[in-house]
Each structure stands twice: as C-alpha cells, then as structure tokens.
C-alpha cells in the first residue's frame, strides 16, 4: 500500500481533520483516506453532472466570450 506525506498543511485544515477523526472514532490517517476517497469519487464535480444541472436549470453554456486556449498558451510562451 502506498504512503503519503503532506507538508505545509494549513493549521486550520489540520484541526478540522483532527476534529472529524475524533468525531468518527478514527485515526487521522484513516480519516484522511475517507475524506480523500469521498472527494475524489464525488460525481458532483463531473462534466456530466454539471451539464445535467445546467439543463435542469435551463442554463445554456456560453463559451463565445472565452479566448482560444492555443492563443493564450502561445502568448504566455512568447512573454
């Protein structure tokens, strides 16, 4: 099984993790795995979910005001 070490974790985030672990009677490592698993497996962040919500709310995506990514990358490289 892989090991993970996190450096420079903000104190407030660590304190929240500790509180969650205590509440759920888990170690910090176990709670971290549960939180990461839930976050990474959350379908709320998928493109399909966003499209379904936009359709439900009758919002039409408008990408005409966005610049072409190729143009932006090229401009950044030319700086």
Tens of pLDDT, residue by residue over 42-58, are: 766 677 777 787 788 87
Instruction: Look up the pTM and report it.
Output: 0.53
Q: Where on the phi/psi map is residue 60: left (φ > 0), alpha (ψ -120 to 50), or beta?
A: beta
Handedness of CA 57, 39, 27, 14 (dihedral sign): negative
If you average pLDDT over residues 60-69, what whole number do you get? Answer: 69
């Amino acid at each position: 099984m892989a090991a993970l070490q996190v450096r420079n974790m903000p104190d407030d985030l660590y304190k929240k993790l500790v509180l969650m672990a205590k509440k759920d009677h888990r170690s910090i490592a176990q709670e971290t795995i549960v939180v990461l698993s839930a976050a990474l497996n959350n379908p709320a962040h998928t493109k399909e979910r966003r499209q379904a919500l936009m359709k439900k709310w009758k919002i039409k995506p408008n990408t005409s005001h966005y610049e072409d990514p190729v143009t932006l990358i090229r401009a950044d490289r030319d700086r």
